[in-house]
Each structure stands twice: as structure tokens, then as C-alpha cells.
Amino acid sequence: MNRLLQDTFTKELPQDPTVENTRRQVEKACYSLATPKKTSNPKLLHVATEMAETLGISKEFIGTHEFLEIVTGNKVIEKSKPYAMCYGGHQFGHWAGQLGDGRAINLGEIVQDNQRWFLQLKGAGETPYSRTADGLAVLRSSVREYLCSEAMFYLGVPTTRALSLSLTGDQVLRDMLYDGHQAYEKGAIVCRVAPSFLRFGSFEIFSVRQDYKTLKTLVNYTLKYYYPHLPKNSKASYIQFFKEVTERTLTMIIHWQRVGFVHGVMNTDNLSILGLTIDYGPYGWLEGYDPEWTPNTTDRQHKRYRYGNQPNIGLWNLYQLANSLYPLIEDAEPLEEILEDYKTNYGLSYLEMMRAKVGLFSKHELDSELLEALETVLQKTETDMTLFFRLLSTIHKNDTPAAAITKIKPSFYTPSALKGTVLTRWETWFTNYLKRVQNESLSDVERQEKMNKVNPKYVLRNYMAQLAIDKADEGDYSLIDELYTLLKNPYDEQPSYEKWFCKRPEWARNKVGCSMLSCSS
């Protein structure tokens, strides 16, 4: 683990000169030194072995006390400089000022097979950016982050990763629903991993403060290590940098829409400069297909971060990044062109993605109309998104509309509602769909294979994560391992795990942790 000594971030970027761990405004610095808080009785609950292998960490070392001490913050690696990053952000559309790593402490960098990885402890104690919080995390939110970041990776969604999940042995006071009912919960730490944890807000903070010198230093550092193919220190390179960030963000959001993932807190401090899904708070997957759904209780009224609005919020956040980079470019036109391209490219990319989901691998001028009709009829009854698209692949070219409806009927939460005008709408859609499918050159088997590569059979539904959390609270961590194993192969049939290919159970519809969630963690 002494390979963590390759700390480019702390060596090449300006450090906060104040070393005391006091809450404060940090000026003209990209990070502050921060030592993880000692934990009283740490226990390793789970390790993502594939991620460990990627990092070059041996199974033998994972089993050592030293590994446990490192990933729970009890040991600072010799000659390393743990730190918390400084950044700002727009939260729910409003500038929130300085935010920063309030409960995340970066351990350093590993370079393995020419890939740079940052290790970060989430829940390792207070930092200068903790504001009024304690910098800790609890078991429920840590289980969710650990499982989801790895699940997203295996779904093929750009994401940060996780190395380990641990208990601290300490109790943490939390008001889970922000309703005045505080209670002690088990403290936990996730060791997160990413090529970089830089986010839009990392650049915003310096631009808003008109600290253009530090802004330029940070942009040049980012280009050097993450966009090395771009020329350095020029307006042209900064424009191309913004273009590539825009493209990566678009790709990420298309993947979110493909698998039905809702981030829940798309603030600018939660969007990665590398187009990675970052900061798993009150996220969720669509159960019933509803573009208006958001998992975040804080967003319940305005639903800014609802599923159907994620592409628009991605664009809005990119506008904020463009504004932040403008002082280095001083030319709005190329930035505006890139943002306009986002709108056009999203429409084209979304159409291609949806064609693949419904098994149309050629193009037809009426496909947009067919897909829009599908999104409308999906909302006429409560239809499980994951089940519907997976079952759609079982339909054959020579099926009748009635036979097709029978095959996808298990995706309806209330099959009895499939009557009258609702049934007529579905019959009409399947009549048009089957005509279109008959024009495809692929056989039924070939089409199903391709559809099943983009439509997962298994996703981390909120109720599944909650069941794992409930068992873990009782000291049983077997379900964490079961879900971790299941979600490593989300597109495979996995007959032994067929019980997870089902709609959300009715008991979970309004249960805390299974429907909506707060930002409390």
C-alpha cells in the first residue's frame, strides 16, 4: 500500500496553509490536510475483491490487520498526506458557496497498470469542510453506497467504485427523516475508489471567488492527468476539455435512463468532471415507470431531480461549468455551441438507446413515434420498468398482440387494470410494434440476446438494499454478499437468484428506505 506515495494532487496543487482541523472558509487552495478519526472497534464487513485485484491488492493483504486499519482510518500510511478537497456547488439550483469533502478523506493515489486510482474514506470524521456535521456515516447509507457503486459498474454505467465496507464500532446520532426524531445508529466507512473525485464544483468555487490563478492551475492539472491527449495551457484546449466533459456527462445520463436509475441529488458538487456517477445518496431505480419520480424526500415538492428531468439538469449543470471556465476562455460562442450540441446529441443518443431496449436494430422514420407511444402507454398502468423491458425480449415476431400482452403482463402491478381503453391502447401499441419487429433481419433468438445485453434482469431495488441493511443491523451480513454476487452479473439469467426478478413487494411501497429516502447518512 505504500504505492499511495504517488500523490500528484497534493504535490501539484495548492494546499491550505492552515493545518488545524477547524471549520472555515478555505481560500486559494484545492485541499486541506485532514486526518481520519480513530475508530473504536473496526470490523471489515465486505471487500470488493475484483476492485482489490484491479488495484493490485493481494488477498493475503486484505486479510491483515493493517488493511483493516487503513480502510477504517486508524492507520495513516507512512509518508502519505490524507486530505479533504475544497469545492463549492449549486444545490437545487442555488449557489451554496463552499462545500468540500465534509466527511470524505482522501488517502492518496495508486497507479496500477497505467491507471491512476484515488482511495477515499467516506465517513472517516470531520474536516475543515464539515460545517455543522460530524463527518461520519452510518451503516444504512454505507451499505447502499457500497452495493450501488459496484452494481452500476457491472451494469456498464460510468461510476466511481468501492473497495470495502466496514463498521467503526461507534454509534452515530442521526435524524433519518429530518423530522426531529434523532436516534443512534451504527457507524460505518466505505473506502471509495475513482480515477478522480473532482467534480464541477471543484472549478466553480474558484471562478465564483474570481481566483482565476487557482482555477487555471486546477484545469491544467486535470488536463495533464485525465485529458492528456489535449494540448496544454491554451484556450483551445480548455474549449475541447469542456466539450469532452459534456460528452462524458451525456453518455453517463443516457446510461442512467437506460437502466432506470435516478440519482436523486444532481447538484453541481455531485457531478464528476470525468462523467462518472458519484455520491450515492437518496438514489433509486424506477419501480413503476414514472418519469416524475424522484427518490429524494427533500425534492418531494418540486421534483427537480426526477427521472425524466435528469437530461435537462445535466445540461443546466454544464451551463454552470461553462460559466466557471469562461474566464479562462473569454469567448462564449464555442461554449454555447457545445451546449447546443448536447441537446441535439441527447435526442439522437436517447433514440438509439431506446431502439436497442425494444429490439429495433435498424432504423425507421416512425421509430420516434412508436417509442413515444410506448412511454405514454407504460404510464396508463403501473408498470415495472426493469421487468417490462426484460420480458419484452421474449416476444416473437409471429406473436399476436394478445400473446405479447400475456408475456409482459407480470410487469404490471395491477393486472386487473388492463381492461377497457387501457387494454385497447396496449393492443394498438403491440400491433404497431410487431409490424415493426417483423422488418428486423435478426431472428427472435438473436434479437433477444442483443436486447438482454442492454436490459438488465437485476438491479439494486431500494427494498433489496433495505433488506440487506436490516439484516446487517442484526449482525447478519450474508445478504450484502448475496446481492453483491447477484449484481456482478445483472444481465445473466442466474436461475438460483430468480427470486430477485420480481416487482417491488407491496409491503415496501411506503416503507422507509424502500420508497423515498432523505439525504441523511
| Of 7, 269, 299, 399, catalytic | 269
β-sheet bridge partners, residue 171: 186
Q: pLDDT grade, residue 78 (50/70/90)?
A: confident
Q: pLDDT grade, residue 1 (50/70/90)?
A: low
Distance of alpha carbon 149 from alpha carbon 101, whole angstroms: 18
Q: Looking at the predicted structure, is the pLDDT value of residue 94 above 70?
A: yes
179 against 340, higher pLDDT? 340
Cell triple for residue 247?
460528452
Query: What pairing do the DSSP bridges indicate for beta strands 183-194 and 261-262?
Result: unpaired
Is 269 an active-site residue?
A: yes
β-sheet bridge partners, residue 159: 277
Burial class from Cβ neighbours inside 10 Å (0-12, 13-18, 19+) for residue 301 reads exposed
Task: For 200-252, write each residue's pLDDT tens digit.
Answer: 999 999 999 999 999 999 999 999 999 999 988 899 999 999 999 999 999 99
Residue with cell 490524507: 82
pLDDT at 297: 86
pLDDT at 140: 95
Q: How many CA atoms lie within 13 A of 471 on its CB side?
A: 16
Task: For 112-165, write each residue's pLDDT tens digit.
Answer: 999 999 999 999 999 999 999 999 999 999 999 999 999 999 999 999 999 999
pLDDT at 345: 98
pLDDT at 257: 98
pLDDT at 179: 66
Average pLDDT, the chain: 95
Task: For 14-73, write each residue's pLDDT tens digit.
Answer: 999 999 999 999 999 999 999 999 999 999 999 999 999 999 999 999 999 999 999 999
pLDDT at 79: 82
Q: How many CB atoms lie within 10 A of CB 221?
A: 17
Q: What is the DSSP string of 323-374?
A: HHHHHHH--HHHHHHHHHHHHHHHHHHHHHHHHHHHT--S--TTHHHHHHHH
Q: Looking at the predicted structure, is the pLDDT value of residue 520 above 90?
A: no
Distance of alpha carbon 175 from alpha carbon 288, whole angstroms: 28
pLDDT at 77: 85
Using only C-alpha atoms, what is the Rg of the chain? Answer: 24
